[in-house]
Structure 1
Amino acid sequence: MFGLDYGTWRGVYTVLVFVLFIGVVWWAFGSKRRKKQFDEAANSIFDEQDSSVNSKKQESKNHE
């Protein structure tokens, strides 16, 4: 197809994958706003555990 040999297609594919990799790295680490979102998401599990533990303690106090 288009007179390109296998080596040329491999080169084009390699460049495409590299560009996609750079895009993902930029998306993940390029913005301060995104870092804040990732940090909030990473810490959200601790917030949920704390609130569920506190609500269970409150429920047990109410039943006593």
Structure 2
Amino acid sequence: MNYGVAGSIFTVVVFVCFIGIVIWAFSRRAKKRFDEAQNLVFDDEPTQQTDKKERESSINE
């Protein structure tokens, strides 16, 4: 087996892995997890309700 054949086999294997990842990324099953993951950035931000309570408590003190 020379480098040309090994390179061709490697290229085919990588291409098949790429196609598998693309199919997985756009599958309906993964959509729910991706939707939850995209909103993780906002989970640590306080809500408006929390802000209002904090302002009221600081005014009353």
Given the two structures, how large is their TM-score scaled by the length of structure 2?
0.73
Residue 45 of structure 1: which of 41, 45, 54 is its match?
A: 41
Unpaired runs of at least 5, structure 1: none
Kindly provide the amino acid, as one letter, of the partner of residue 20 in structure 1: C
Mapped partners of 2:20, 2:29: distance in 1? 17
- Could you tell me the percent identity over the aligned residues? 45
Unpaired runs of at least 5, structure 2: none
Mapped partners of 1:47, 1:11: distance in 2? 46
Segments of 4+ in structure 1 off by > 6 A? Answer: none
Given the two structures, how large is their TM-score scaled by the length of structure 1?
0.70
Mapped partners of 1:60, 1:14: distance in 2? 60
Structure with higher helix content: 1
Kindly provide the amino acid, as one letter, of the partner of residue 45 in structure 1: V
Deviations 1:31-60 (A, max 9, x none): x131122112213333543xx143233112
Q: State the match for 2:56 in structure 1.
A: 61
Q: How many residues are aligned here? A: 58
Q: State the match for 1:6 in structure 2.
A: 3
